[in-house]
Amino acid sequence: MTNKSNSNNLTKSEEDYLKALFQLLVEDNSVKVGNNQLAEYLKVSPASTNNMIKKLKTKDYVVSEKYGKLELTEEGRAIAVKLIRKHRLWETFLYNYLNFSWDEVHDVAEQLEHIKSYKLIDELDRFMDFPEKDPHGELIPNSKGEYKVVPKITLSSLEEGDVCKLISVNDGSVNFLRFVSEIGLALSSEIKILEVREFDKSIRIAFNDTIETVTRKFADNVFVEKLI
């Protein structure tokens, strides 16, 4: 038994910090995550993160040495995964049942993920018949907290001639998601890399009889499975 109390008394802020740390550590497969990096990710000052990390260490959700890198305990990780489960289930609900577009769901899910009720989220899951992926193609952790972390391959990591399938996209930017839809890309689209331009890393891609040039920043937020 790792959990002492399991009474789920975390504040919204504490939850947000744990989720952010998980996303930096695990989702973005960063080798090490530091205080300032977390601050930048959360758009708060380094002093604020330093403060909160201290608190999360006394609660045994985070481990780190002074001036050292940050790590999550099993319990910290479990909380983060629960948040991600809630976030993605709500996004799926908004998208599939309430006529939200995929660029509208994230902001509301950021609020909904902090609602505290086990029954609520498990019933929502059942109501939707246990969806596997959210509207952006991301896997939804199950009610036992099981979550396969699949290393993500970005479109920007491919080379000329490669062919890939769009698996998921970063859901944090409304403008980015709108642009993805606008040019006609969608989940499962097959994309061929026509050219990678050296001077600015922009990429010329072909999909569904369309040819587009996208920036490196764009391609960093598109996750694919390499086919050829």
For residue 198, give the amino acid letter.
E
Asked if residue 83 lies in contact with residue 68, where contact means CB atoms within 8 angstroms, the answer is no
Q: How far apart are the first and last CA of the chain?
A: 45
Q: Where are the beta strands (DSSP E) in 14-143?
A: 62-63, 71-72
**Considering the rule CB under 8 A, would residue 97 count as an interface residue with its own copies?**
yes
Contacts of 104 (CB under 8 A, 6+ apart): 94, 174
What's the closest the beta carbon of residue 176 comes to its own copies, in angstroms?
20
DSSP 4: S
Across the chain, how many H-helices and E-strands are there? 8, 8
* Contact pick of 38, 134, 168, 207 for Mn ion (by CB under 5 A): 134
Choose from its own copies, DNA, Mn ion, none: what does 171 bind? Cβ within 5-8 Å by kind: Mn ion
* Gap between the Cα atoms of 86 and 93, Å rounded: 11
**Considering the rule CB under 8 A, would residue 94 count as an interface residue with its own copies?**
yes
Nearer to its own copies, 127 or 130 (CB): 127
**Which residues are at the interface with DNA (CB under 7 A)?**
11-14, 16, 34-37, 43-48, 50-55, 64, 66-69
Please count the residues of this chain forming the interface with Mn ion, following the rule CB under 5 A: 6
Find, among 66, 79, 65, the residue nearest to 18 by Cα: 79
What's the closest the beta carbon of residue 187 comes to its own copies, in angstroms?
22
Site for its own copies in 104-143 (CB under 8 A): 104, 107-108, 111-112, 115-117, 119-120, 123-124, 127
Nearer to its own copies, 43 or 119 (CB): 119
* Contact pick of 47, 98, 149, 211 for its own copies (by CB under 8 A): 98
Choose from DNA, Mn ion, its own copies, none: what does 37 bind? Cβ within 5-8 Å by kind: DNA
Asked if residue 28 lies in contact with residue 14, where contact means CB atoms within 8 angstroms, the answer is no
